[in-house]
């Protein structure tokens, strides 16, 4: 009886999983396996928050696969060695997996595929993570896109031709004698010091958790997404990003679900909000397009002019960086966002832009420092999205924010958190201040409540300093 190995990575679901479906349809027995090999992802192995999510997502996937009849086998890398050993042990004739798009993993997977084929095995990979492969879309000149609007005009036009999501796999036949695997706890994904209480209170990792989150969003927020998505005090965004990153739900599933919702509720507002949300998924696609074509960008600016940008030196900014990381900058909206990040492993997107602008422009700290901190603290830490977001704010990336755009955190806070609900939740030291003093307490006629300090930098003067630095780059 023919057997196949399905190599799970960040496709931790049973529905709309082409590698798993392919194995089920072509082989009599299936061995699902997850191989923990963080060294192969260097220098972008998962950070602490992402490892926490991975542990619980693997736990959920293992239970789902066991119910389907073929339990998940856990191993520890190197991946090729483990796959070869497993193929010999269970007499598998094929190995299937769904593609990843980070530069180190593309190289790893290409080497694995070639080696397995040289061993006489069938080795095939599939697209389970994106609406369009990064290499499928090109400008009229045959170049990669570097501006979002024309990219999405091309990508969005292809959506109606997408096939429907694959149904969930309900029953699998396991291999006759399963090899020995590792207990999940031996992968060492959970923190030794339990700082993860906020994560446990906020999230339900796993495929079922992803669908619960999507359904909650559709019930409570989808109809007002376009108008309310920038308001951090509201549950107005889907918060599906970590579920998407770990492949607990696919973008194709989300698009199909939302389009059906809009068709059932023909109000123009619902249709417009659904289309606007799907466009936001397009930014995720665009980020993967950029990372694929410009694989150096997680560490280097896309715009080469920024190689000579006059960032401050580490010895000069170390204290300011630490204050930013801890949410102790003295700027309420910045501190609120950084504390939300530390407690929940997530930050509202509008606030992400504000804290990133403050770091790179008001503090003149290199965007790579912010990207590394986000990488370790975000449950949705995704190399493509993280890189694009930081380069966009710094002004050095594709479709970047204009160099002269320096977010004023006080104005941003007053506009998007007018009543201070978000600020009072995450910066409780200030909760008794009146609304007109809350966003810039250092300007109040009364002293800010202890122990809240004044800003670590003068916003107006630091803005001018940033504009001078960016002007030099623009003219250089």
Q: What are the catalytic residues?
A: 280, 283, 311, 349, 367, 390
CA angle, corner 357, sides to 351 and 362, nearest 5?
130
**Residue 94: helix, strand or coil by DSSP?**
strand
d(CA 454, CA 187): 44
Torsion, Cα 200 203 208 210, to 10 degrees, reads -160
Residue 127 burial by CB count (10 A; 0-12/13-18/19+): exposed, middle or buried? Answer: middle
Q: Does residue 152 contact residue 122 with C-beta atoms inside 8 Å?
A: no
d(CA 362, CA 367): 12
Listed in order, strand segments (DSSP E) in 169-239 are: none
Helices (H), 296-438: 314-326, 332-344, 349-357, 367-377, 383-394, 409-416, 421-426, 435-438
CA 2 to chain centre: 37
d(CA 333, CA 166): 42
d(CA 428, CA 134): 44
Residue 101 burial by CB count (10 A; 0-12/13-18/19+): exposed, middle or buried? Answer: buried
d(CA 374, CA 328): 16
Q: Does residue 358 contact residue 325 with C-beta atoms inside 8 Å?
A: no
Looking at the chain, the number of H-run helices and the number of E-run strands are 20, 5
**Residue 6: helix, strand or coil by DSSP?**
strand
C-alpha pair distances (Å), 309 with each of 50, 96, 357, 361, 388: 31, 45, 15, 12, 18
Q: State both tokens at 470.
A: 């960016």
Q: Counting every residue, how long is the chain?
A: 476
Q: 74: closest CA among 34, 107, 125?
A: 34
Residue appearing with tokens 């810039």: 440
Q: Does residue 404 contact residue 423 with C-beta atoms inside 8 Å?
A: no
């Amino acid at each position: 009886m023919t057997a196949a190995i399905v190599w799970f990575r960040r496709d931790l679901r049973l529905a709309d999983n082409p590698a798993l479906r392919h194995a089920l349809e072509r082989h009599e027995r299936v061995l699902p396996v997850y191989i923990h090999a963080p060294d192969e992802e260097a220098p972008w192995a998962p950070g602490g928050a992402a490892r926490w999510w991975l542990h619980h997502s693997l736990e959920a996937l293992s239970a789902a696969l066991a119910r389907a009849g073929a339990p998940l086998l856990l191993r520890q890398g190197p991946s090729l060695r483990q796959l070869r050993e497993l193929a010999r042990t269970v007499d598998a004739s094929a190995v299937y997996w769904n593609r990843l798009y980070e530069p180190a993993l593309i190289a790893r997977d290409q080497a694995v595929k070639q080696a397995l084929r040289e061993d006489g095995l069938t080795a095939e990979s599939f697209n389970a993570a994106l609406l369009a492969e990064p290499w499928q879309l090109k400008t009229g000149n045959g170049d990669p896109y570097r501006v979002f609007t024309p990219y999405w005009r091309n990508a969005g036009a292809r959506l109606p031709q997408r096939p429907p999501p694959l149904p969930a796999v309900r029953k699998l036949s396991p291999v006759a004698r399963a090899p020995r695997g590792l207990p999940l706890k031996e992968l060492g994904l959970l923190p030794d010091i339990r700082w993860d209480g906020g994560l446990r209170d906020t999230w339900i990792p796993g495929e079922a958790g992803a669908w619960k989150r999507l359904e909650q969003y559709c019930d409570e927020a989808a109809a007002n997404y376009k108008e309310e998505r920038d308001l951090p005090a509201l549950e107005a965004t889907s918060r599906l990003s970590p579920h998407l990153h770990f492949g607990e739900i696919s973008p194709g599933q989300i698009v199909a679900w939302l389009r059906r919702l809009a068709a059932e509720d023909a109000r123009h507002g619902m249709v417009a909000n659904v289309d606007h949300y799907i466009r936001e998924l397009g930014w995720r696609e665009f980020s993967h397009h950029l990372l694929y074509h410009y694989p150096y960008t997680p560490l280097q600016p896309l715009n080469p002019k920024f190689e000579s940008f006059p960032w401050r030196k580490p010895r000069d900014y170390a204290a300011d960086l630490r204050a930013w990381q801890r949410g102790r900058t003295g700027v309420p909206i910045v501190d609120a966002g950084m504390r939300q990040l530390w407690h929940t492993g997530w930050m509202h997107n509008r606030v992400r832009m504000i804290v990133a602008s403050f770091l790179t422009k008001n503090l003149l700290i290199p965007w790579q420092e912010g990207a590394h901190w986000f990488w370790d603290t975000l449950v949705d830490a995704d190399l493509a999205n993280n890189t694009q977001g930081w380069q966009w704010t710094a002004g050095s990336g594709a479709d970047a924010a204009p160099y002269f755009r320096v977010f004023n955190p006080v104005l941003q806070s007053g506009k998007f958190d007018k009543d201070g609900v978000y600020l009072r939740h995450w910066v409780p030291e200030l909760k008794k201040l009146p609304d007109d003093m809350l966003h810039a307490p250092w300007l109040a006629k009364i002293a800010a409540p202890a122990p809240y300090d004044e800003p670590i930098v003068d916003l107006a003067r630091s803005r001018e300093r940033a504009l001078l630095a960016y002007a030099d780059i623009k003219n250089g």
